Structure 1
Amino acid sequence: MSGALVMLMPFIWMLLTSFKAPDEIFSSELRFLPENWYILENYTEAVTRTPLLQFLLNGVIVTIAIFLCQIAVAVPAAYAMAKLRFRGRKLMFAAVLLCLLIPPHAVAIPWYLLMYQFGWLDTYMALVAPFSISVFGIFLMRQFFMTVPNDLIHAARMDGFSELAIVWRVMLPTAMPALVSFGIFSIVAHWNDYFWPLIVLNSPDYYTPPLGLVSFRNDDTGNDYGPLMAAATIVITPLVVAFLLAQKRFIEGITLSGMK
């Protein structure tokens, strides 16, 4: 319980700061609860000073597009490496494990040059395309598919299912816990991504939520912490709600994916 409280303390402090007036935020006296509640003012300014709702919509579009692309690649690839027998299967899986060791920042420059050559800078494509393939997703789904009995696949083949039909009509529904687990990882990572959108975007029309929060920084007067914390609370709320709704499936997916 105490460990959970320590982990939650920054979020609790962020929430309480979003309730305070500016003079209380910069007060030398430490207080958890505000004397004068400043909720309406901070949250109204957070929504009206910048097009925060547009930033949230951009974040939804980008994270969902990335996730769907990743699933379209990860599920068939994972099925092939888990259940099909072909030459080079182990080498391919070793390549997947090797790619897990490469941080995204290490390939940022080649990605940027590729986006420039395609003319995709400052578009949704620049945000989605580099992350459309997830080696972590392939690894996680492959580990889950290893736990699926081969008899289920043999029965599907006897019923006349093609390999693609087995992937999408048999394996995908079976792998729903792993799919939810991967979805949480993917959406949280790309919803909170600040580095890559900062490089490829110039127009505020395509800003994602983390870039939108930078709008509350003022080089002359400093950060406006009340509206900033209010905007940050709004930004992380969808992630918290999504995790709370999917936490049972998330735990199942992580647990079952490590059985083999």
Structure 2
Amino acid sequence: MRRRGLLGALLSHAVLLAGAVLMAAPFLWMLLTSIRPPEEVFGTVFNLIPTRFAGYENYRVALVESNLPRALLNGAIVCLGILAVQLLFAIPSAYALAKLKFRGREWLFGLVLFGLCVPIQVPALPLYLGLAQAGLLDSFFALMAPFFLTVFGMFLFRQFFRSYPDEVLDAARLDGMGEFEIVWRLAAPAALPAIAAFSIFSIVAHWNDLYWPLIVVTSAERSVPSLAILAFRDSETGGNYGALMAAAAITTAPLIIGFFAARRAFLRGITMTGPR
């Protein structure tokens, strides 16, 4: 039995290690390409480690000769703005679906589940036409507005709030606290792990989003990281894939750093919002 347990542990760790290598390989290739000179990217002789370090030139081109720094700032504004409004609406909505008894609550939750099945491509045309008629295209509002309401956030927080003790809520009501006060003074602070998990999902999704910015953004002043890389490849560097990979590494770095900084809260939030 001990040998079987040891063999099972070794096998499971081998599978996890293989998966980790598979997931990390594209990032490693990106970093190695970002320090290669142009002649080695598609050279006839393959060297895992570049024979000549060209990281300074590639990263200088990415940061100085492109719109990438402005796009990074725009991406941070858009992602944080979307996240703030999403939390403002999703937390009280999820609390109501989880803890308040009213007619039609289950039907509303069913609509939330249905909303999870609707991708952004479905309402993209009416949203675009509405923003165009209002003269709001090529603005931060156009980049953020379609994502202010998040059914995924409602679902995630609702799963967390279902496990929140009803006794605490009843005691707060006896002390004279209103429902909104309960939400923001009791429920929301207790939901910090779930908020951390949702924040990572939201920021990663909108930082990497290309479809919607490609539709509503028409100027370099409102470019986000995904658009900056696209324009960088098309108009700035041509075949300079080393500089292109340097730009990709710069835009990926904030997400990786943020995830490692919040990984403990992220894992707690995922485990605490499972099916109930």
Q: Tell me which interval the TM-score lies in, with the shorter structure as reference length.
A: over 0.9
Distance 2:273 2:101 in 1: 21
- 205, 208, 214: which one pairs with 1:192? 208
Q: For residue 148 of structure 1, what is the amino acid of its counterpart?
A: Y
Q: What secondary structure, in the 3-state scheme, does the structure 1 residue paired with 2:218 have?
A: coil
- 140, 147, 165: which one pairs with 2:156? 140
Distance 1:18 1:164 in 2: 50
Deviations, residues 29-83 of structure 1 (Å, cap 9, x unaligned)? 2221100000110000100111211100000000000001100110010000000
Q: What TM-score results when the alignment is normalised by the length of structure 1?
A: 0.97
Distance 2:51 2:254 in 1: 29
Q: For residue 29 of structure 1, what is the amino acid of its counterpart?
A: V
Distance 2:237 2:97 in 1: 56
Deviations, residues 219-239 of structure 1 (Å, cap 9, x unaligned)? 798432011100100001000
Structure 1: stretches of 5+ with no match in the other structure? none
| Per-residue deviation, 1:107 | 1.3
Deviations, residues 169-218 of structure 1 (Å, cap 9, x unaligned)? 10000000000000000000000000100100101100000000012224
Structure 2: stretches of 5+ with no match in the other structure? 1-16
Distance 2:235 2:76 in 1: 29
CA contact (8 A) 1:216 1:223 kept: no
Q: For residue 253 of structure 1, what is the amino acid of its counterpart?
A: G
Q: How does 1:15-54 map to 2 (within 5 A)?
A: 15-54=31-70
Q: What secondary structure, in the 3-state scheme, does the structure 2 residue paired with 1:10 have?
A: helix
- 170, 179, 185: which one pairs with 1:169? 185
Distance 1:74 1:220 in 2: 41
Call closer, same or farther: CA 1:153–1:47 in 2, change over 3 Å.
Answer: same
Call closer, same or farther: CA 1:221–1:212 in 2, change over 3 Å.
Answer: closer
Deviations, residues 234-255 of structure 1 (Å, cap 9, x unaligned)? 0010000000011111111111
- Aligned twin of 1:111: 127
CA contact (8 A) 1:216 1:224 kept: no
Q: How does 1:35-114 map to 2 (within 5 A)?
A: 35-114=51-130
Q: For residue 240 of structure 1, what is the amino acid of its counterpart?
A: I
- Aligned twin of 2:260: 244
Q: For residue 251 of structure 1, what is the amino acid of its counterpart?
A: L
Deviations, residues 130-156 of structure 1 (Å, cap 9, x unaligned)? 100000000000000001111111111
Distance 1:55 1:168 in 2: 33
Deviations, residues 90-109 of structure 1 (Å, cap 9, x unaligned)? 00000000010011111111
| 2:136 aligned with 1:120 | yes
Highest Rg: 1 or 2? 2
Distance 2:74 2:145 in 1: 15
Distance 2:221 2:237 in 1: 25
Q: What secondary structure, in the 3-state scheme, does the structure 2 residue paired with 1:190 have?
A: helix
Q: What secondary structure, in the 3-state scheme, does the structure 2 residue paired with 1:161 have?
A: coil
- Aligned twin of 1:159: 175
Distance 1:33 1:62 in 2: 37
- Aligned twin of 2:18: 2
Call closer, same or farther: CA 1:219–1:28 in 2, change over 3 Å.
Answer: farther
| Per-residue deviation, 1:259 | 4.6
CA contact (8 A) 2:237 2:243 kept: no
Distance 1:220 1:61 in 2: 25
Q: Tell me the C-alpha RMSD between the 2 structures.
A: 1.3
